[in-house]
Amino acid sequence: MQQIPSWWQTSTIYQIYPRSFQDSNGDGIGDLRGIINRLDYFRWLGIDTLWLSPVYPSPMADFGYDIANYSDIDPTFGTLADMDDLIREAHQCDLKILLDFVPNHTSDEHDWFKESRSNRTNAKRDWYIWRDPAPNGGPPNNWLAHFGGNAWAFDEQTGQYYLHLFHEKQPDLNWRNPEVQQAMYDVLRFWLKRGIDGFRVDVIWLLIKDGQLRDNPLNPDWKEGDFPMDRLVSVYSHDQPEVHEIIREMRTLLDSFGERVLIGEIYLPVPRLMQYYGENLDEAHLPFNFQFIGLAEWNAQMIRTCVDAYETALPAGAWPNWVLGNHDNARVVSRAGKELARVAQMLLLTLRGTPTCYYGDELGMQDGIIPLEMIHDPRGRDNPADSRDPERTPMQWDATPNAGFSPAHVQPWLPVSNDYKTMNVAVQREDKHSMLTLTRSLLTLRKSMASLHQGSYRSLDAVSSTCFAYIREHAGERTLIVLNFSANEQTISLSDLAHGQILLSTQLDREGKINLSHFTLRGFEGCLIALPNA
């Protein structure tokens, strides 16, 4: 008997970066009311799950990923009552809401940290990772922070260093302390009781550090110009075996609230990533799969190798997922190229597993250009090339000044991209051939066709060196997807499949019966083709 898939398996997740989505009160920053006002958009588009980057009270050293109180909402974004409204109104229109849970670190302005740093004997001292200086007075070990520099900050008052794997305003919690675990599980309960449908857990693979805090070894492959942190191999600061016990506990807690979803943010090679499903599939439902984000080149062979390797590595019964973009990486259009935006979108929305779509990617938004003096991102202040501001520019709703994100007289927190007059929801909604129309058509097909939302996956050999082709199949329904990653026309021959029916081309200009023994795709075209039932 085939199991009925869970909602999070058939859903498409849409990531909202709340600061940049919709400003409802004219302060230049997006907020919860803004999201509520746009709920109709998701129903129209065919999205069923929203994940919100953090909206908790925060000094915003890392734009909300530095949390000062886990059980409230930052006034910039609204109030707890607004969040309750969002959950209620979203549920009324069958949308699920996921929160970002950031358990690895708090803000240094969180009461827990204030207590912890007040003196060495404070009851919360051990809630964070404090160590004496090395014999030479320097940091206790050689670990580096993700935002540059070493990962330790010296506290004059108590004469010890505390660990911060990110910004120094983001001290790492000590997850080996059972009180920390309980306090954080209480946070999960707080939101689950309010009706939150699940969590995307920030840097879940970093939660536990080596018990002896040993030095990380040097990375022999690192060269000048590479990401500074990669100078060391994070053997002792990441992916420790004990983290799995913690994740199992989080999962048990979520499961006790019924069907909720646990998603882990994990940047690891595929074999290690797979361990986060848990030996008995009792850890993350979806360890985020960032294979496409790290891709060196967008060509058919690389993509096929990447998809096949991931599919093969999945443990039995584990549900796949695909991420094309997020708030930490250049937008897919800027990484893969404008020409490939549609092919990439067809790929994302036709592969097996839960897709995650980053706000604005449904339009083909590209990275914004941020003048040096306007850089906000802490990762970009010392290294402008590493700034994440370009992928966080305001959502482009229409052609009015500020693109409908903020009222016209307001200066948004980041500049609106200068292509907003044509690249926006209002214009693309009316255009039968737009990227937005393509996204919507793909989502509609994905929802209505069981082969797409729950079918098996099989890639096809020897199609052409620039095309990637695969078949999705469920209960006899078979769908072929062929994607041409080159600028040139390609004729393919799939003679054993005989004929098919084009349901959608990325150019949105052809449908109908075709002969698969001689089928021509235009440059950068993808086609979704119904095959006769098996």
Active site residues: 202, 265
CA angle 228, 137, 162 (to 5 degrees): 60
Nearer to ligand NOJ, 166 or 292 (CB): 166
Residues 222-281 that bind ligand NOJ (CB under 6 A): 265
Query: CA-based Rg of the chain, rounded to a whole angstrom?
Result: 24
Question: CB of 65: closest distance to ligand NOJ in angstroms?
Answer: 3
The one-character DSSP state at 343 is H
Q: Quick one: tokens of 431?
A: 């255009």
Nearer CB in complex with ligand NOJ: 110/327: 327
Q: Whole-number minimum distance, CB 4 to ligand NOJ, in Å? A: 32
User: How many CB atoms neighbour CB 461 within 10 A?
Assistant: 6
Residues 159-198 that bind ligand NOJ (CB under 6 A): 166
Segment (H or E) for 470: strand 467-474
**What is the closest distance, in whole angstroms, from the C-beta atom of residue 59 to ligand NOJ in the complex?**
13
CB 47, CB 357: distance < 8 Å? yes
Q: Which residues contact 119 (CB under 8 A, 6 or more apart)?
A: 125, 157, 158
Interacting residue with ligand NOJ among 23, 48, 62, 108 (CB under 6 A): 62
Q: Closest separation between CB of residue 170 and ligand NOJ, Å? A: 6
> In the complex with ligand NOJ, which residue's Cβ is closer, 86 or 266?
266
Nearest distance from residue 333's CB to ligand NOJ, in Å?
20
Residue 433's Cβ-count burial label (10 Å; 0-12, 13-18, 19+) is exposed
- Cα angle: 443, vertex 447, 448; to 5 degrees: 120
Work out which of 29, 87, 102, 250 binds ligand NOJ, going by CB under 6 A: 102
Give 102 or 450: the residue with its C-beta nearer to ligand NOJ.
102
Nearer to ligand NOJ by Cβ, of 16 and 504: the residue is: 16
Least distance between ligand NOJ and beta carbon 265 (Å):
6
3-state secondary structure of 93: coil
Query: Rounded distance, CA 93 to CA 85, Å?
Result: 12
Q: Is 228 helix (H, G, I), strand (E, B) or coil?
A: helix
Q: Does 65 bind ligand NOJ (CB under 6 A)?
A: yes
Torsion angle, alpha carbons of 12, 293, 327, 349, to 10: -20
Q: Which of residues 46 and 54 has its CB atom nearest to ligand NOJ in the complex?
A: 54
Choose, by CB under 6 A, the member of 31, 48, 202, 283 that binds ligand NOJ: 202
Least distance in Å: CB of 444 to ligand NOJ?
A: 30
Helices (H), 194-339: 243-255, 270-274, 300-313, 332-336
Report the first-to-last Cα separation within the chain, whole angstroms: 19
| Amino acid at site 460 | L
- The residue (of 130 and 166) whose beta carbon lies closer to ligand NOJ is 166
Q: How many residues of this chain bind ligand NOJ (CB under 6 A)?
A: 9
Looking only at residues 125 through 144 of this chain, which bind ligand NOJ when binding is defined by CB under 6 A?
A: none
Residues in contact with ligand NOJ by CB under 6 A are 62, 65, 102, 166, 202-203, 265, 327-328
